[in-house]
Structure 1
């Protein structure tokens, strides 16, 4: 929306508090498959990459969209991977990207994350834009990783939907 343009009815709608139920309704409207994990977090798979939609902070009003790349890399890649992630973070606002060792020591896990403070609430259009931003920018980063680190032929996607299909 431009500076001097009249807001649409959806943009002018009053913001309402962020809830998991609102996120579920958005995903249901879009006919996305998603699940709920043991902690009550929403998650799903886009292009073999797992994304979580977390409500964090107090009063749980920061929407954090965190994607996990579908593959792991060997720990020997830490230095070049860290340089790549730093370059990405310097050149772009979204998503924030980072790496950490897999809990079981099997390699490096790469994440992309967009966090937005919605303490003042959001209307449906605003919420959809934040979700779209988190998914689109995360997938864009994962595509760049796929180009830099091509999967060996015949490598299946590593992740499955969180909590199963809706």
Structure 2
């Protein structure tokens, strides 16, 4: 499945219609499902009960952790593109640049036992005391967009783009 980022509605410029309590709300998974439906994004609930929206090169999880005033809403994106351990230094330099320039997602590496390096992006919001519904909606939409933008940005920064035919843009023997 491939989602064009421009197809995600921009909730930031619109006046939302009243949809619930006027005061702070404590968001939950059902609220995120409603938002993803409104954004026309497909999602699944995994074996651990976390909500995930899959894309071709990554998947974004919408998770709730903690209790009471310490409850946290986390949007975490796992980028599926494997990188080799030898490429970790330029990868770290690129994500350090991203992390300096942007508010979210903050991106970090995870090195697997087999030596492959994967990236994870994350943004969090304390929700235990309740949050303004408009803040919650605009943050979630912005975080999803930023996760998509990071993937595109990284492809451009590291020259990871592949042609549709699966080559890296270099002509094969016999091609003219």
TM-score range normalised by the length of the shorter chain: 0.7 to 0.9
Return the TM-score normalized by structure 1: 0.76
What corresponds to 2:12 in structure 1?
none
Do structure 1's residue 140 and structure 2's residue 132 form an aligned pair?
Answer: no
In the alignment, which of 23, 34, 38 is matched to residue 25 of structure 1? 34
Structure 1 gap ranges (5+):
1-6, 156-166
Matched pairs, number? 148
**Per-residue displacement from partner, 1:116-166 (whole Å, max 9, x unpaired)?**
1122223432221111121111111111111133144445xxxxxxxxxxx
Correspondence 1:1-166 to 2 at 5 A? 10=18, 13-46=22-55, 48-59=57-68, 61-102=71-112, 104-105=113-114, 107-149=116-158, 150-153=160-163, 154=165
Q: SS at 1:78's partner residue?
A: helix
Q: Is the 8 A contact 1:10 1:123 kept in 2?
A: no
Could you say which structure has the larger radius of gyration?
Answer: 2
Mapped to 1, the partners of 2:146 and 2:80 lie a distance apart of: 15
Return the TM-score normalized by structure 2: 0.72
Higher relative contact order, structure no. (Cα contacts within 8 Å, ≥ 6 residues apart): 1
Q: Is the 8 A contact 1:75 1:107 kept in 2?
A: yes
Q: Is the 8 A contact 1:17 1:122 kept in 2?
A: yes
How much has 1:24 moved relative to structure 2? 1.6
Tell which deviates more after alignment, 109-118 or 142-151. 142-151
